[in-house]
A and B are shown apart, each in its own frame.
Chain A
Amino acid sequence: MVSLINTVDTGHEDMIHNAVLDYYGLHLATCSSDGSVKVFDVKNGNQILIADLKGHQGPVWQVAWAHPKFGNLLASCSYDRKVIVWKEGAANEWTKFYEYNNHDSSVNSVAFAPAEYGLILACGSSDGSISILTCNIEYGVWDSKKISNAHTIGCNAISWCSSTVPEPAFDQRSSTRNTAVKRLASAGCDNCVKIWREDADRWVEENRLEGHSDWVRDVAWAPSIGLARSQIASASQDRHVIIWNSTDFTTWSSTILHTFDDVVWSVSWSMTGNILAVTGGDNKVTLWKENNENQWMCINDDAAATNAQTNEQRTL
Chain B
Amino acid sequence: MQEDQPAIFAVVDPLCSRYANTLTGQFVSGSKIALSAFRPITSNTRDAPTESAGKDDVLIHMLQPEFVFDDPILRSLVAEANSTFVALQELKKRGSKAEYMKISRTYRSIIRACLEKLQDAIASAEEAEDADAQAKYQQYISIFYSIECVWHLSEILFLDPTPSNAVVPQLLDWIRFHFPASERMATDLLLLGREASDNDDYWPALKGLILQGQVDVARALLHLHPQAETPHFKLTDQILKTMPTYSMHGATSIQKFRSLWQYWLTDTERKISANILAIEPNLEELIQLVTGDTQMWNTQIQETEYWYEFFPGYLFYTNNACKHFELGNAANTWLSRWARLKGHNSNELQMKQLDRVILSLMENDMHQVIHAIQLMADNQWFVTHLTDLLYNAGQLQIAGENQVNECIKLRDSLLYDFGSSLMTRNSLWQLGMDYLDHCGQEGQAALALLLTKIPFRTEKQALKIICIAQKKGFFEAEQDICKIQSKKSLDEQRYGNALEWAIRSKDTLYVTTIADFLLNHYSKTGDMLCPDVIANIGAKMFISPRLVFLVKYFDFYQFYRKRDFLPAAELLVNLLESKITPEYFWPSLLIDSIPLLESKDPKILSKETCAILQHLETELVPLIDKKKKRLEKYPDEPINILKDYRIENIEEIINLLRLACARNLSRAIIIENTVMG
Contacts and interface: CB of A to CB of B under 8 A. Distances in A.
A301 to B, nearest CB: 5
Given A172-B473, A226-B445, A304-B8, A33 B49 contact: yes
Interface stretch (B52-60, B190-198, B660-668): B52-60
B63 A2 contact: yes
Contacts of A226: 440-446
A3 B377 CA distance: 12
Interface of B: 2, 6-18, 20-41, 47, 49-50, 52-54, 57-66, 377, 406, 409-410, 413, 416-417, 420, 424, 440-446, 449-450, 453-455, 473, 475-476, 480, 483-484, 486-488, 490-492, 509, 512-513, 516
Contacts of A172: 473, 475
Given A270-B31, A283-B16, A307-B17, A14 B449 contact: no
Contacts of A6: 61-62
B513 A137 contact: yes
12 contacts: A5-B62, A5-B63, A15-B21, A21-B28, A42-B62, A67-B480, A91-B492, A137-B509, A138-B512, A266-B26, A268-B27, A271-B449
B27 A15 contact: no
A54 B11 CA distance: 30
A90 B492 CA distance: 7
A32 interface: yes
Contacts of B58: 9-16, 32
A268 B35 CA distance: 12
B491 A88 contact: yes
Nearest to B49: A14
A299 B28 CA distance: 18
Interface stretch (A22-30, A141-149, A238-246): A22-30
Interface in A273-288: 274-275, 277, 279-285
A277 B65 CA distance: 13
A160 interface: no
A79 interface: yes
Contacts of B24: 265-266, 279, 285
A10 B17 contact: no
Contact of B475 (A20, A173, A281): A173
Contact of A304 (B10, B29, B50, B480): B10
Contacts of A281: 22, 40
Nearest to B5: A300
Interface of A: 1-17, 19-26, 28, 30, 32-34, 42, 58-59, 61, 67-72, 79, 88-91, 115-116, 137-138, 164, 166, 172-173, 177, 217, 223, 225-227, 263, 265-266, 268-272, 274-275, 277, 279-285, 292, 298-307, 309-310, 313
A16 B38 CA distance: 7
A217 B24 CA distance: 13
Contacts of B16: 283, 305, 310
B491 A71 contact: yes
Contacts of A25: 28-30, 32, 453, 455
A306 B484 CA distance: 42
B528 to A, nearest CB: 22
Interface centre among A1, A3, A88 (most CB of B within 10 A): A1
A166 B445 contact: yes
Given A21-B34, A305-B10, 17 more contacts: A2-B9, A3-B66, A5-B63, A7-B61, A14-B50, A20-B28, A69-B480, A71-B491, A164-B449, A226-B443, A268-B26, A271-B420, A279-B23, A279-B25, A285-B33, A292-B406, A303-B63
A263 B39 CA distance: 12
Nearest to A177: B476
A268 B63 CA distance: 14
Interface centre among A79, A309, A313 (most CB of B within 10 A): A313
A24 B445 contact: no
Contacts of A19: 26, 28, 34, 36, 60
B18 to A, nearest CB: 7
A8 B12 contact: no
B59 A285 contact: no
Contact of B50 (A33, A89, A217): A33
Contacts of B14: 307, 309
A96 to B, nearest CB: 17
A68 B410 CA distance: 35
Contact of A303 (B15, B20, B23, B491): B23
Contacts of A23: 453
B445 A225 contact: yes
Contacts of B417: 274
Contact of B377 (A1, A21, A115, A225): A1
Contacts of A303: 8-11, 23, 25, 33, 35, 63
Nearest to B53: A14
B38 A298 contact: no
Contacts of B413: 292
B92 to A, nearest CB: 19
Contact of A292 (B6, B15, B410, B442): B410
Given A24-B453, A272-B420, A305 B409 contact: no
Nearest to B35: A303
Contacts of B38: 15, 265, 279
A23 B36 CA distance: 21
A14 to B, nearest CB: 4
Contacts of A299: 6
Contacts of B454: 24
B223 to A, nearest CB: 54
Contacts of B27: 268-271, 275, 277
Contacts of A30: 60
Contacts of B20: 313
Contacts of A223: 449
Given A7-B60, A19-B34, A68 B22 contact: no
A166 B441 contact: yes
A49 to B, nearest CB: 13
B25 A1 contact: no
Given A19-B36, A115-B480, A298 B6 contact: yes
Interface centre among B9, B21, B480 (most CB of A within 10 A): B9
Contacts of B488: 68
B26 A305 contact: no
Contacts of A9: 57-59
A210 B63 CA distance: 34
A217 B36 CA distance: 18
A134 to B, nearest CB: 14
B434 to A, nearest CB: 16
Contacts of A10: 58-60
Contacts of A177: 476
A263 to B, nearest CB: 7
B47 A59 contact: yes
A2 B32 contact: no
A149 B36 CA distance: 32
Contacts of A68: 484, 487-488
Contact of B54 (A3, A13, A115, A298): A13
Interface centre among A79, A225, A277 (most CB of B within 10 A): A225
Given A14-B52, A285-B25, A274 B420 contact: yes
Contacts of B416: 272, 274
Contacts of A270: 27, 30-31
Given A59-B47, A300-B7, A306-B10, A70 B53 contact: no
B453 to A, nearest CB: 6
Nearest to A307: B12
Q: What 10 A-B pairs come out closest when comparing CB atoms? A: A226-B445, A285-B25, A25-B29, A69-B483, A24-B455, A21-B29, A306-B10, A305-B16, A226-B442, A310-B17
Given A3-B63, A305-B10, A313-B17, A15 B509 contact: no
Nearest to A306: B10
A6 to B, nearest CB: 5
A3 B6 CA distance: 14
A276 to B, nearest CB: 9
A143 B13 CA distance: 43
B446 A225 contact: yes
